[in-house]
């Protein structure tokens, strides 16, 4: 009888100890997605195996709509949501405590530097109209090359404050990527 109890406890420990170690040594992380169609973001948290970045848990998606830049772009009519289009979700960040990184240019523009993006748009309205409308036109495409062009416009043309330079830079990107 004593042997049976000992085996039972050993079985429980053999199961519980690795799970406890997995949880106690796991690292947290998260993913952020953006839909250029609906202009919505959603995020997901994750837990990964220590030092590997391999996820063993991911939460359900949490939608958040409190991005001041997106609200500004819609209010100023630079872009408008297209909720009737099935959403294409683009991964814009994937970070984890073990490798600390994974931010795409879209994340930097739409989230991290949103205040600067609003200020630039207010100070360069004519450029901003072209910049945002061209970028979102291509981001909403079903063609992967076009989506890449939209990303390139966002990342490479944001600081241009001359209308002719903006047009030329976008045209140069179009020529280079077609």
Tens digit of each residue's pLDDT (9 = 90 or more) over 117-156: 999 999 999 999 999 999 999 999 999 999 999 999 999 9
pLDDT at 16: 65
Q: What percent of the chain is modeled with pLDDT above 70?
A: 85
Nearest to 34 by CA among 95, 93, 82, 85: 93
pLDDT at 123: 95
User: Over 60: is that where the pLDDT of 22 sits?
Assistant: no
pLDDT bin (cut points 50, 70, 90) of residue 20 is: low
Report the Cα 156 to chain-centroid distance in Å: 18
Lowest mean pLDDT of 51-60, 69-78, 164-173, name the range: 51-60
**What average pLDDT does the segment 144-171 reach?**
93
Tens digit of each residue's pLDDT (9 = 90 or more) over 76-101: 999 999 977 777 888 888 877 766 66
Is residue 130 a contact partner of residue 167, using CB atoms and an 8 Å limit? yes
User: Over 80: is that where the pLDDT of 166 sits?
Assistant: yes
**What average pLDDT does the segment 149-166 reach?**
93
pLDDT at 1: 55
Strands 55-58 and 40-48 turn out to be: antiparallel
Contacts 24+ apart (CB under 8 A), 103-109: 104/151, 105/151, 105/154, 105/155, 106/34, 106/151, 106/154, 107/32, 109/69, 109/154, 109/155, 109/158
Task: Kindly report the average pLDDT of the chain as a whole number.
Answer: 85
The model's pTM is 0.79
In angstroms, the CA 17 to CA 10 distance is 10
- DSSP annotation of 177 reads H
């Amino acid at each position: 009888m004593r042997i049976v109890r000992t085996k039972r406890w050993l079985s429980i420990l053999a199961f519980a100890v690795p799970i406890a170690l997995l949880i106690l040594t796991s690292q947290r992380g998260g993913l952020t997605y953006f839909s250029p169609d609906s202009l919505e973001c959603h995020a997901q948290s994750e837990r990964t195996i220590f030092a590997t970045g391999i996820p063993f848990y991911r939460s359900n998606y949490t939608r958040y709509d409190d991005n001041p830049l997106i609200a500004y772009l819609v209010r100023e009519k630079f872009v408008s949501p297209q909720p009737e289009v099935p959403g294409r979700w683009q991964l814009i960040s994937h970070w984890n405590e073990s490798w600390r990184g994974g931010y795409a240019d879209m994340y930097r523009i739409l989230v991290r530097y949103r205040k600067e993006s609003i200020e630039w748009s207010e100070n360069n309205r004519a450029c901003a109209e072209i910049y945002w409308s061209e970028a979102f036109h291509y981001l909403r495409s079903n063609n992967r090359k076009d989506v890449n062009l939209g990303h390139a416009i966002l990342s490479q043309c944001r600081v241009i404050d001359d209308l002719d330079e903006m047009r030329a830079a976008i045209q140069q990107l179009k020529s280079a990527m077609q």
